[in-house]
Amino acid sequence: MSSRMIYIFVAISGFFLVAFGAFGAHVLSHMLSSEQLAWIHTGLQYQAWHTLAILGLGTAMQTRCNIWFYWSTASIALGIVLFSGSLYSLALSHLHFLVFITPIGGMFFLIGWLLMLIGALRLRNRASRHE
C-alpha cells in the first residue's frame, strides 16, 4: 500500500465517519434502540482513532520506507472494516452472527499496533547505527 493509497483510505474513512455519524445522530437515533446506537457509536470511535493512526503511518512512510509500518497499516485498515463494519451491520441488519466478526477485527487492531511498535523500534535501532 503506497502513501497515496493510504491517504485515499484515510480520506474515505474520514468522510464516512462524518457522514455516518451525522446520519446516525439525526436519522437513526429515532429508529434504533439505545443498544444499536451504542454499537454504532463504538464502531465510529474505533474507526476514528484508527483512521488517525493510519494517517500517521502514511506520513511516516513518506519519509522512511518501513515494511512493518506497511503491514501495520494493512492490519489496522482490515481491523476498521471488520470491527467497525460488523458493528454497523449488526446495528442495522440484526444479523447476529456478525458478533463473531467483531473480535477478529479487534485482533487485527492489536496486530497492527504491535507491528507499529516493531517498526518504531527498528527505526530507532537503524538511527543509532548511523550516528
Q: What pLDDT score was predicted for residue 129?
A: 52
The predicted model gives 6-15 an average pLDDT of 94
Q: Are the C-beta atoms of residues 81 and 36 closer than 8 Å to each other?
A: no
The predicted model gives 62-67 an average pLDDT of 84
pTM, two decimals, is 0.88
Angle at 113 between CA 107 and CA 114, to 5 degrees: 90
Q: What pLDDT score was predicted for residue 65?
A: 77
Task: Kindly state the percentage of the chain with pLDDT values over 90.
Answer: 68
DSSP state letters, 49-105:
HHHHHHHHHHHHHHHS--HHHHHHHHHHHHHIIIIIHHHHHHHHH--GGGGGTHHHH
The predicted model gives 1-10 an average pLDDT of 87
Least confident of 15-19, 28-32, 46-50, 122-126: 122-126
pLDDT band at 8 (very low <50, low <70, confident <90, very high): very high
pLDDT band at 9 (very low <50, low <70, confident <90, very high): very high
Question: How much is the mean pLDDT over the chain?
Answer: 90
